[in-house]
Amino acid sequence: MYDITIAEHPRYKIPALNYRGTPFGIDARRVVDTGIAPIFNAGMAHAKPGIGQIGAGYGRAPMTCFESAVHCAAMNSS
């Protein structure tokens, strides 16, 4: 994630990485240039209050989202 973000968060640190800041600010151009799709995590709460979390997981965002964003930005800048 450090390869595709623009900064490290100054307050949210990762102890296992020698207190390096968490990756912050995904750059669509870096995603497209490196081919590294961002990892995301998700959780789902039950519709009825009080039951709590019913699912969780992680995945990678589709590369086409970032390719489209970079393409649209290039079209709008000319």
Question: Rounded to whole angstroms, how far apart are CA atoms 58 and 41?
Answer: 4
CATH number for 61: 3.90.1700.10
Per-residue pLDDT tens for 31-62?
Answer: 999 999 999 999 999 999 999 988 999 999 99
- Looking at the chain, the number of H-run helices and the number of E-run strands are 2, 4
Q: Assess if residue 67 is contained within a domain.
A: yes
Residue 65 pLDDT > 90: yes
Q: Is residue 49 part of a domain?
A: no
Percentage of residues in the chain having pLDDT higher than 70? 99
DSSP letter for each residue of 37-68: PPEEEEEEE-SSTTS-EEEEEEEE--HHHHHH
The answer to whether the beta carbons of residues 4 and 24 sit under 8 Å apart is no
Domains in the chain, number: 1
Structural domain for 16, as ranges = 2-44+54-77
17 within some domain = yes
Please state, in angstroms and as integers, the Cα–Cα distance from residue 58 to each residue in 25, 28, 41, 69, following that order: 18, 20, 4, 22
